[in-house]
């Protein structure tokens, strides 16, 4: 029993998985610094853009990301991780350079679209690779580890970059982000060419399923047909799952363009105060993620969804009506705890609906649906901020989570999140 546990832990933290997690962390660090801290303030103050224009600029990133997410799953199966991920991180590198040397609206939108194209392979590669290594028994645990890397990057990026911006000086900040992307390119070169690393093969993880081996003999038409067949098979899950996937990311997308503006323009926070503000929520989420993931694997999904959506919805509905810093920190920490409940349970639910033999293809399809929420959310929130004021986006995000709280009760969930 102990040897089996050690073997599984070795698989979860093999060089292949560590490389994927490093790429996830650094790319999300760069992305978080750009989308949450730099671009909203830079475009508002230096370029004089409206919140609606900022929302569209950030949406360009999510559009670029979402366009490629479904085919990326198939590309991973065909070309392997190294080519797929390396292409993505090189595009991301170019997008950061463009942002650093240009200032027009059009260039910023183009750079954000390239950022989206570049980060499109990130989630399909990381999720497909890590869940394939973890197996069905540890899917919530590995998803918690993946999301811990994601949240650490997303959270630390906006916090750390504040110390490099100072009084709206962006040159040093962009140099830091370009340096980060250089590291990511080097790590991507270490990824295996095939779908699974040699270390996993020697540890006993199959390098390919029978379906994967057979697919090598198919024609291109047969491979595309097989991919579409797996997408159709994914439709056998509860039809309520698809609007729920959209709503979950839509609630997050609403907050993307307005969180920094709210902290700077309404709360009048300094860079240090805003950094602590982000840490209050992000650190709590990161600390709780792995324990929550293990508890989801043991106890099941539903209780964690109920608690998570309830806490997060309550925090968002109250958020813009509280101006006392002490209470704000409590609310932000509550939101962090809520998402620590939601993230592993929600993604275990999604993972349980995916045919294990076609993780890459169907993960890409599911991530496309989720990505639509991140496209539409920033556009809607930017317009609501300009027309109805700063309360409206937070209230909308909170009510969307209330709707999810109700909707998830009607979605069938496999016992303890086990795959069908």
Q: What percent of the chain has pLDDT over 90?
A: 20
Whether 419 shows a pLDDT value over 70: the answer reads no
**Number of neighbouring beta carbons within 10 Å of residue 306:** 15
Q: Which residue has the tokens 């199959």?
A: 206
Residue 211: predicted pLDDT: 46
Domains and CATH numbers, the chain: 10-196+236-417 (1.20.1250.20)
Q: Higher-confidence residue: 35 or 231?
A: 35
Distance (Å, rounded) from C-alpha 123 to C-alpha 363?
9
Q: Read off the pLDDT of residues 119-143 as tens digits, 9 standing for 90 and up.
A: 888 877 887 777 776 665 556 667 7
Place 104 in a pLDDT band, splitting at 50, 70 and 90: confident
50-81 pLDDT, tens digit each? 778 888 888 888 888 777 766 776 777 777 77
| Alpha helix stretches (DSSP H) within 13-104 | 15-32, 39-45, 51-79, 81-101
Q: Which of 188-192, 265-269, 315-319 has the highest mean pLDDT?
A: 315-319
pLDDT at 214: 45
Cα–Cα dist 381/390, whole Å: 9
pTM value is 0.67
Alpha-carbon span 322 to 73, nearest angstrom: 43
What is the length of the chain? Answer: 420
Query: For residues 276 and 68, what is the distance between their CA atoms, to the nearest angstrom?
Result: 35
Q: Is the pLDDT of residue 405 over 50?
A: yes
Residue 155 tokens read as 């959270």
- C-alpha 215/C-alpha 223 separation (Å) is 7
Q: 360 or 298: whose pLDDT is higher?
A: 298
* Averaged pLDDT for residues 379-403: 91
Which has more confidence, 102 or 176? 176
In this structure, how many other beta carbons lie within 10 angstroms of the beta carbon of residue 199? 16
Give yes or no for residue 418 having a pLDDT over 80: no
Task: With beta carbons less than 8 A apart as the criterion, state whether 282 and 155 touch.
Answer: yes
Q: What is the mean pLDDT of residues 238-245?
A: 85
Q: In the predicted model, what is the mean pLDDT of residues 85-90?
A: 90
Q: Is the confidence at residue 196, as pLDDT, over 80?
A: no
The pLDDT assigned to 334 comes to: 93
b/e per residue 238-257 (b: at least 16 CB within 10 A) = eeebeebbbbbbbbbbbbbb
Region at 402 (left for phi over 0; alpha for psi -120 to 50; beta for the rest): alpha
Q: What confidence score (pLDDT) does residue 238 get?
A: 73
What's residue 114's pLDDT?
92
* Alpha-helix runs per DSSP H in 256-358: 259-261, 271-299, 302-319, 325-352
3-state helix, strand, coil in the chain (%, to 5): 85, 0, 15
Cβ-based neighbours of 18, under 8 Å, separated by 6 or more: none
Write down the pLDDT at residue 393.
Answer: 93
What is the spatial distance between Cα 398 and Cα 412, in angstroms, rounded to a whole number?
24
Q: Is the pLDDT of residue 404 over 70?
A: yes
């Amino acid at each position: 029993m102990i040897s089996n546990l050690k073997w599984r832990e070795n698989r979860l933290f093999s060089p292949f998985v560590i490389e994927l997690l490093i790429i996830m962390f650094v790319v999300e660090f760069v992305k978080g610094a750009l989308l949450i801290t730099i671009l909203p303030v830079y475009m508002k103050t230096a370029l004089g853009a409206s919140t609606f224009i900022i929302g569209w600029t950030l949406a360009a990133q999510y559009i670029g990301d979402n366009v490629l997410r479904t085919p990326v799953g198939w590309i991973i199966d065909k070309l392997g991780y190294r080519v797929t991920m390396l292409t993505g991180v090189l595009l991301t590198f170019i997008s950061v350079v463009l942002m650093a040397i240009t200032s027009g609206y059009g260039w910023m939108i183009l750079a954000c679209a390239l950022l989206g194209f570049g980060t499109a392979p990130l989630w399909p590669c990381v999720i497909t690779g890590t869940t394939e290594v973890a197996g069905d028994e540890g899917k919530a645990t590995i998803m918690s580890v993946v999301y811990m890397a994601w949240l650490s990057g997303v959270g630390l990026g906006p916090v750390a970059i504040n110390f490099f911006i100072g009084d709206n000086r962006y040159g040093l900040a962009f140099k830091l982000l370009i340096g980060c992307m250089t590291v990511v390119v080097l790590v991507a070169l270490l990824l295996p060419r095939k779908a699974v690393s040699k270390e996993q093969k020697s540890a006993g993880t199959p390098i390919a399923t029978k379906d994967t081996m057979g697919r090598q003999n198919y024609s291109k038409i047969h491979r595309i047909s097989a991919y579409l067949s797996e997408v159709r098979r994914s439709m056998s899950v509860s039809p309520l799952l698809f609007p729920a996937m959209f709503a979950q990311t839509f609630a997050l997308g609403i907050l993307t363009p307005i969180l920094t503006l709210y902290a700077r323009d309404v709360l009048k926070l300094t860079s240090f105060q805003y950094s602590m503000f982000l840490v209050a929520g992000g650190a709590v989420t990161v600390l709780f993620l792995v324990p929550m993931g293990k508890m989801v694997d043991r106890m099941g999904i539903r209780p964690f969804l109920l608690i998570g959506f309830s806490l997060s919805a309550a925090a968002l509905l109250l958020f813009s009506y509280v101006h006392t810093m002490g209470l704000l920190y409590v609310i932000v920490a509550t939101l962090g705890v809520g998402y620590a409940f939601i993230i592993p349970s929600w993604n275990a639910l999604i993972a349980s609906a995916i045919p294990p033999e076609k993780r890459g293809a169907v993960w890409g399809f599911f991530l496309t649906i989720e990505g639509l929420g991140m496209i539409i959310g920033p556009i809607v929130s930017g317009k609501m901020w300009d027309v109805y004021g700063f309360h409206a986006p937070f209230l909308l995000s909170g009510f969307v989570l209330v709707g999810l709280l109700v909707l998830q009760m009607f979605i069938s969930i496999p016992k303890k999140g086990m795959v069908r």
